[in-house]
Amino acid sequence: MLHSWELGRISVFWWLKDGSELLSAFCQWTTQHLKCMKKEHGMICLREKKRQWSLLSIFLVCLLACVITTAIGVLIISLVYINNSQSHLNVQFASGVWPLRTTVGPKGQKAVDPKFQFLNHLPKSKVFEFPGGAIQWARYRNNVKDYLNDEEEAFGTSLNSQKSRMTLGTLRIKSKGLRAPHWHFNANEHGYLVQGTAWIGVVDDGGQVATTYNVTAGQVIFFPQNTLHWIKNVGDEDCFFLLFFSTHDELQTLDVDDVFFSTPEDIASRSLKPEGGIDFIRKFHKQKEDQAVNLPPNLAELVMNASYAQSPDSLVWRYFYDLKGSKEYQFPGGVIQKAQYWKNGSELSNNEKVFSEFLNQHQNTLALSTLRIYNNGLRQPHFHFNANEMGYVLSGCGKVGIINTQSTIEFNIHIGDVVFFPIGTQHYIKNTCDEDLLFILAFSTGDQLQTLDMDDYMQATSDHILAQLFFRKQSEFKKIPKFKEDQAINLP
């Protein structure tokens, strides 16, 4: 089968061949015609003039034919080349799982640095203000116009194209403020309380049981998909939550007040059967401001003697995990703590086992952990077999490296930045500040996280295999030491 460029070349060849043969025949005919003319002496001058004119005509016709033929040939070759180039590019982009290339923003804006596939400067993102607090997002948007800038779009697109099952939001609730009762259609929710004290409520299937509990900084909350829940700030300072959702599509959420005001009055009256019937329902009026995070100015006269009861541990620990009080995994260069499912829960307390098992019962849940890296410490290059990773910088600063088949990308990170590492992507994190670098990390797996570090896979690979691969003597690989202490976070 001939390729399109070969067909184009053959077409041009035959076009040029036919044109030359035509011109040759025309010239032969003209020459013979002149020879057959009578050579009377009186007609010589006239014949000379006619001969000159004929040669000039032939020259002009040949020149015009050459120009037309050349132009058509160049056009055909150009079309064939462009067609092949586009086909080649389409194959390259389609075959790559996540090609690293600069992206161009809408309306011809400047190219976006590839690092923004993995980095989101969340403090610079749009703040959604409510009477009782504020929310910011590092997430995918269906409408590109909802992105604040090209960098934010690059990050959201990366989350979605990798099918990451990850979205991050920050939630700030003022003192006495309330994150309205709500549920999420398309995601489980995992939260980490950075600051403050909150009272949580979760309504079980059928509404028979409402589980309520108090959380303080450093603890984790969990709400399964389509489970109604609320969060109330019961302290004097702002509550600040990091919220992770198990979706890479745009998050779909419905608040109870929005449902109420969208329900016809007669339907609401028949469902609730309040004293006063439909007249009671008509006393309610939708506020002009979105009440997603609610704080009425006259709250003191609306609420009297509120109680913040704690449900039994057997209920609470399904939705709660004391991460700051959990086991610390110590390394030379830092500490890791984990809120995840454990296949072997022998080291867990009874309450921690409740959380681990409940987490594993639901689909598309996440694993959370804190990562603390000491001054000059390094979370060495590693990758995860079974999860994408998303992290939020709580304190400190550092440098992140991402290694893939095409290049290595490095960038600096600071407080409030969000990072994303696709499954199987080798990456490292180095502390570049005097203070500890502290992360809250989420992993897109409801199973036990599976990770492989660089020193572990180098040690596990036979010396003779490494010698053959790197063109070095086998004995040289004995110089790579194996430490008794795990070097996942190491120090020089």
Q: Tens digits of per-residue pLDDT, 292-320?
A: 999 999 999 999 999 999 999 999 999 99
Q: Per residue in 169-217, pLDDT tens?
A: 999 999 999 999 999 999 999 999 999 999 999 998 888 899 999 999 9
Query: What pLDDT band is residue 73 in, cutting at 50, 70 and 90?
Result: low
Which SS3 state, helix, strand or coil, does residue 56 take? helix
The per-residue pLDDT for 208 is: 87
Q: What is the mean pLDDT of residues 19-34?
A: 48
Residue with tokens 């989420």: 442
CA distances (Å), 448 to each of 142, 205, 371, 444, in order?
32, 27, 17, 11
Q: What CATH architecture does domain 116-320 belong to? A: Sandwich (2.60)
**CA distance linking residue 165 with residue 147, whole number of Å:** 19
**Among 328, 333, 327, which Cα is nearest to 483's?**
333
> Which of 126-130, 132-136, 168-172, 407-411 has the lowest average pLDDT?
407-411
Q: What is the mean pLDDT of residues 140-162?
A: 96
DSSP conformation class of 113? P
Cβ neighbours of 339 (radius 10 Å): 25
**Does 467 have pLDDT greater than 90?**
yes
SS percent in the chain: helix, strand, coil, step 5: 35, 30, 35
The per-residue pLDDT for 185 is: 96
Class of domain 331-490: mainly beta
Give the residue with greater pLDDT, 435 vs 6.
435
CA distances (Å), 360 to each of 206, 275, 324, 337, 448, in order?
22, 43, 21, 18, 9
* Mean predicted lDDT score pLDDT of the chain: 86
Query: What pLDDT band is residue 109 in, cutting at 50, 70 and 90?
Result: low
**CA distance linking residue 178 with residue 232, whole number of Å:** 4
Give the residue with greater pLDDT, 365 vs 63.
365
Whether pTM > 0.95 for this model: the answer is no
19-43 burial, b at 16+ Cβ within 10 Å, e below that, comes to beeebeeeeeeeeeeeeeeeeeeee
How are beta strands 189-195 and 178-184 bridged, if at all?
Answer: unpaired
Query: What pLDDT band is residue 416 in, cutting at 50, 70 and 90?
Result: very high
CA 230 to chain centre: 28
